[in-house]
Amino acid sequence: MNGTYSLWRRLRPVLAVDAPLAAILSLLLAAGLATLFSASADFPGRFELQLRNVLMALVLMWTVANIPPPLLMRHAVTLYSLGVALLVAVFLFGVTKKGSTRWLHLGHDFQPSEMMKIAMPMMLAWYFHRFDGAKGWQVFVAAAVLLAIPVGLIAKQPDFGTAMLVLAAGFYVIVLAGLSWKALAALAVGGLAAVPVVWQLLHDFQRQRVLTFLNPDADPAGKGFQITQAKIAIGSGGMAGRGWMDGTQGHLGFIPERSTDFIFSVFAEEFGLFGGIALLLMYTLLIWRGLQISAAAVTPFSRLLGGAITMILFTYAFINIGMVSGVVPVVGVPLPFFSYGGTALVTLGIGCGILMAIRRQSQA
């Protein structure tokens, strides 16, 4: 036993990982890969590609975990400025696919909005670290402007799902920095009052998603097909599920996006209510560990950045499970560490690497 502990102490500085966080991530990734293997049975090569994505995310997570948070803080403004410049470049001469202009062609198609999920909370964490102790309304107004610039550019693409995640990432930092409850209440009232204006600014397909959410039975064979079939899959899983690889809704093709945004419906059908509760418990433990790491951070920058990243993990999971269950409108947010795709997985891996770096800093 002492030998094992001694070996861990020697390896720990090299591995630079937080053991509880790494254990939770391992469980989520294992469950995600098992579910994807079932969900992607009709998509040859997809599972192998996801293994590559997982490996890439883990390598990046370990790399970022070895970067001291002060170094991250030093480059926060540069990363934010580069992200905004790239978003402007997308607006001016980006690549258009399926009616959305979200990509730049830099050797291969690159989506700059993804980097803002990390750059935005880093920028605001740096900003509030610099003005630590200053709680005047001018400080928060300036932070809101810094947040509104990339959010507006991303929403213009249009990419409502990513814009919402970037908005949430920045908003969490602002709240954790000490935004008063009165200001939060005023924002809530203002948001409700702005709903009619926002509705007019939405694209037709975005309005249709909201209408489908409100009444999916209005067009069960068309716009409401996927959400209706997803809820059927969740219900058909019962308490214990149909068993791994034995789901019918997914394998018979009733859920078109079963390996990406709607993978939770496949998981729920195959593993049932008990499996769903276990998955929610894993996400709860992930968020709890992230909050523990953030609370123990030694600088305002680390505390704010860690808290925002943790809450983004919560936002990903809540929105995805909520939209598949019919609780929130469909906005194209993947299930963390489950859904097929490299971009979101890499972003989340980097986020977890930052949490590990913060934990390492607090232990130094």
Residue pLDDT, tens place only, 117-149 = 999 999 999 999 988 766 677 888 899 999 999
Residue 1 has pLDDT above 60, yes or no: no
Assess if residue 203 is contained within a domain. yes
Assess if residue 37 is contained within a domain. yes
Assess if residue 9 is contained within a domain. no
Mean pLDDT calculated for residue range 285-302: 95
| Residue 364's pLDDT band (cuts 50, 70, 90) | low
Assess if residue 7 is contained within a domain. no
CA 312/CA 320 separation, integer angstroms = 12
Q: What local confidence, expressed as pLDDT, does residue 219 receive?
A: 57
**Contact by Cβ (8 Å): 163, 306:** no
Residue 65 has pLDDT above 60, yes or no: yes
| Residue 353's pLDDT band (cuts 50, 70, 90) | very high
Measured CA to CA in angstroms, residue 213 lies from 75, 183, 261 at distances of 41, 30, 15
Angle at which helix 263-295 crosses helix 225-236, to 10 degrees, equals: 80
Residue type, 153: L
User: Is cis: bond before 121, omega within 30 of 0?
Assistant: no
Q: pLDDT tens digits, residue range 195-232?
A: 676 666 666 666 666 666 555 655 555 566 777 888 88
pTM of the model: 0.88
| Strand, coil or helix: 344 | helix
| Strand, coil or helix: 108 | strand
Assess if residue 2 is contained within a domain. no
**Contact by Cβ (8 Å): 17, 282:** no
What is the number of domains present in the chain?
A: 1
Cβ neighbours around 7 below 10 Å, total: 10
Assess if residue 218 is contained within a domain. yes
CA 218/CA 212 separation, integer angstroms = 7
Q: What local confidence, expressed as pLDDT, does residue 211 receive?
A: 63
**Joined tokens for residue 113:** 């909005």
Assess if residue 201 is contained within a domain. yes
Residue-number span of the structural domain to which 169 is assigned: 18-363
Assess if residue 5 is contained within a domain. no
The H-or-E segment that residue 101 falls in is strand 100-106
CA 163/CA 155 separation, integer angstroms = 6
